Amino acid sequence: MTDHHEVAIAVWPGPAPEATDGLAALLTAYHLRTEAEKGRPVADADRLPDRYRAEIHDPHAAFAHDTVLVALTGDTTAGCLVVTAPADGRCEIKRLWTDPAFRGRGIASGLLTAALAHATANGADTVRLSVWNWRTGAIALYQRFGFTVADSWDERDELVCMHHTTSPSTTRR
């Protein structure tokens, strides 16, 4: 029988130090997986590009102006998402990741719901994100939440840019 703990979303900075440790592990897994999917696998975090290593080794500094949402199930960090600070009425979602052992439990949906509520509460009219085109499950999730494909603001090939107009009644879909 599987033990299903309730998922809590913690806003960082602020969660317990264990959540920060778990955040580093989630970011490591996210970046290693992304590099492998791009056809550039690396053996460990020390071989990742500098900007990704900086996020892993010092998330407080890397996301100093952003809000990090951390999904906790019991004492375990199960997922994360970064929402950039609003600028010109826009926020951006980055680094949505759920530990594979916890997938299928609504963690990504919970993080997105919290992110959209946070963006709305902080005055953002639009939330945008970019996602690799091979991450079809993530694209489908974003579409269920009302994100639509937008003109690209990123020069990298194979990225799908999406946006969502916020409203006070933004809820999980």
* Structure confidence at residue 172 (pLDDT): 43
Average confidence (pLDDT) over 47-73: 92
Using the predicted structure, report yes or no on whether residue 68 has a pLDDT greater than 80: yes
Global pTM value = 0.87
Average pLDDT (64-71) is 92
Is 12:23 a contact under the CB 8 Å cutoff?
A: yes
Residue 15's alpha-carbon distances to 36, 135, 153, in angstroms, are 30, 29, 33
pLDDT (tens digit, 9 = 90+) per residue, 93-118?
A: 999 999 999 999 999 999 999 999 99
Q: Which amino acid is at 92?
A: E
Three-state DSSP at 63 gives: coil
- As assigned by CATH, the class of the 7-124 domain is alpha beta
pLDDT on residue 8 = 78
Alpha-carbon gap, residue 20 to 167, rounded angstroms? 30
What is the CB neighbour count within 10 angstroms for residue 5? Answer: 13
Portion of the chain with pLDDT greater than 90, in percent: 73
pLDDT bracket for residue 13 (50, 70, 90): low
- Matching residue, tokens 């974003």: 142
pLDDT in tens, 19-57: 566 899 999 999 999 999 999 999 999 999 999 999 999
Given a cut of 80, whether residue 18 has pLDDT beyond it is no
Rounded Cα distance between 63 and 74, Å, is 24
Per-residue pLDDT at 6? 65
pLDDT higher than 90, residue 161: yes
